[in-house]
């Protein structure tokens, strides 16, 4: 509960600050804002994790939903029940465990030196997110947008909130409906903040 309260405070502080200073548009062209690329290749996890489902989350996942930003570290989400299978797959691929994360999960170094964070979830929505992936051009499973928004709202770091605002600004109305449904179901205390972030995101995009 304390972590949730802190996340709520950070979201509200960020949104209040941005509302005071926001202006229509970003300076970026409309073509750039709507561009989707997969310029920077990442490790082929499909060839490593073969015995359990997973989805890419974090910065790499945002590439499907907003203009690409440089990040090569990979985060994945798995179900708690699949931990041992995934960890065994990583070991079989000569990956090295670096340590445990402050949240549930662990950090690994792949054989190609890529940093991999394995996030372990047992919330009700985790299975929904993992079994309904979108796919990157290279075939990697990417977490659906509503659940990526949910994760980033829960974390509420400054970069997360900036990502949320831009992705929401670019989302179609059909996507926004699903996002609202997911957040209302699993993080209802964030609904007001979600609407503010949608407004800020649309202001950014539509002003270009």
List, in order of start, the domains of the chain with CATH numbers. 8-37+145-208 (no CATH), 38-143 (3.30.460.40)
74 - beta bridge partners?
Answer: 116
b/e per residue, 114-153, with b = 16+ CB within 10 A? eebbbbbbeeebbeebbeebbebeeebbbbbbbbbbbbbb
Tell me the HSE value of 121 on the side-chain side, using a 13 A CA sphere: 20
Give the pTM.
0.84
Share of the chain above pLDDT 70, in %: 80
Task: Give just the sign of the alpha carbon dihedral 18, 154, 1, 194.
Answer: positive
3 pLDDT band, cuts 50/70/90, is: very low
pLDDT over threshold 50, residue 173:
yes
31 pLDDT band, cuts 50/70/90, is: low
Backbone φ/ψ region at 40: left (φ over 0), alpha (ψ -120 to 50), beta: beta
Taking residues 63-67, what's their average pLDDT? 90
Q: What is the Cα–Cα distance from 148 to 164, expressed in whole angstroms? A: 9
pLDDT over threshold 80, residue 13:
no
57 - beta bridge partners?
Answer: 75
Question: What's the pLDDT at 1?
Answer: 46
pLDDT over threshold 60, residue 157:
yes
pLDDT over threshold 70, residue 9:
no
Distances from the Cα of 70 to the Cαs of 28, 79, 89, 130, 190, in angstroms?
17, 27, 27, 24, 28
Taking residues 73-86, what's their average pLDDT? 96
């Amino acid at each position: 509960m304390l972590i949730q309260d802190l996340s709520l405070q950070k979201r509200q502080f960020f949104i209040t600050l941005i509302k005071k200073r926001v202006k229509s548009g970003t300076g970026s062209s409309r073509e750039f804002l709507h561009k989707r690329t997969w310029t920077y290749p990442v490790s082929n996890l499909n060839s490593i994790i073969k015995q359990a489902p997973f989805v890419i989350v974090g910065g790499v996942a945002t590439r499907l939903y907003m203009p690409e930003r440089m990040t090569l570290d990979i985060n994945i989400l798995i179900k708690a029940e699949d931990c041992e299978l995934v960890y065994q797959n990583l070991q079989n691929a000569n990956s090295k465990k670096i340590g445990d994360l402050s949240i549930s999960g662990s950090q690994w170094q792949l054989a190609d030196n890529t940093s991999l964070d394995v996030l372990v979830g047992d919330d009700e929505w985790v299975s929904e997110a993992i079994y309904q992936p979108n796919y990157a051009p290279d075939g990697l499973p990417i977490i659906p947008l509503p659940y990526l928004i949910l994760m980033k709202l829960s974390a509420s770091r400054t970069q997360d909130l900036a990502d949320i605002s831009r992705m929401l600004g670019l989302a179609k109305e059909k996507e926004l409906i699903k996002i609202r449904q997911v957040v209302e179901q699993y993080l209802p205390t964030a609904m007001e903040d979600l609407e503010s972030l949608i407004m800020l995101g649309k202001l950014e995009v539509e002003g270009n």
